Structure 1
C-alpha cells in the first residue's frame, strides 16, 4: 500500500527586481537672443536683401558694414529671424519671390507688336490684348486730342532688376559673402532674353567707365 505523497508547497519565485528607469536629460542649447542692432539688421535686410546696406541702416560702421553684414547672415539665430520675417511678410501680402520674378520677366520681354492686334480706344478694350501685354501696362490716359493711350513698363529697368537677381552687375542683391559666386538662377529666361540682360549689363559698365573717366 503506497502512501500518498505530500505535495511540496510551491516556493514563491523570487520577486524580480524592478528595472531601474534610466532618466535621460535632454541638453537643449538655447539660441542667443538678438541684440537691438541685430534685430534692426534683420528688418532692414528685408528691404532690399542687401546685407551691406542693411548693416549701415542698422547702425553699423560703414567701414566694416560689408564684413558685418556677411557675418550676420552666417549666424543661425539671425538666419532664423530673417526667415521668420520673410514668411510673415509673404503671408501678409500673399507674395512670393517667384511671383515677383515672373512679373519682372513679363514686363521685360513683352512684345510691343502685340498692341497692333487689337483696336484700343478705351479702358475696356485692354481686355482684348494678350495677357503678357496687359500685365506690362502700368497706366493709361487720354491725350490732348482725346486719343486713348497706354503707358507700358520700361524694359531697361526690368532687365536691370533681373540682372541684379542673376548677379550680373557689380552692385546688386547680396545672397553670398564678399567673394561669393553668382547665383545660378535664370528664372526661366531663354538664351535671347539672357542676351538682352547681358546687353544692359554692358551698357551700365560702359556708362560707369565713362563717368569715372570724366571725373579723372
Structure 2
C-alpha cells in the first residue's frame, strides 16, 4: 500500500473536519478547477479512504470514556474527591457580584455513585419469591394431511 503525500494527507485531515470534499481539496492546495470536478475521486482513493477511517477510529476512541474511566470517576465521586462548581453571589459596596465556588458533591450525588458502583459489582440483590403451580396444557390442533 502506498503512502500519502503531504497534499493528500492535508486533504484527508480537512475532510475529517468539514466533510466537504471540494472545500477540503482547495484548502489542501488543489486548484479550484480540479477540486470542483475531482474531489470525489480523492475521497474514493483507497489510501486516502483508509487514512480517513483510521483517523476517525482514533478520534472516536479518544472521545468515548472507557469502563475504567467511568468506574474511577464514580469511585472518586463516592469518596468526595470530585468538586463541582457552584455560582453564588457576594455583595461588595452595595453591588452584587457572581462568584464561582468549588464544593464537594452533595450526599445525594455520592449515594447515586455508590448505587451505580453497587449495581456494577452486583452488590445488591432483590429477593424474589416465586410460588405457584404452573400446569402444562398440550393442545393438539395440528391436523393430519387428510384434514387439509
Question: TM-score if structure 1 supplies the norm length?
Answer: 0.30
Question: TM-score if structure 2 supplies the norm length?
Answer: 0.42
Structure index of larger Rg: 1
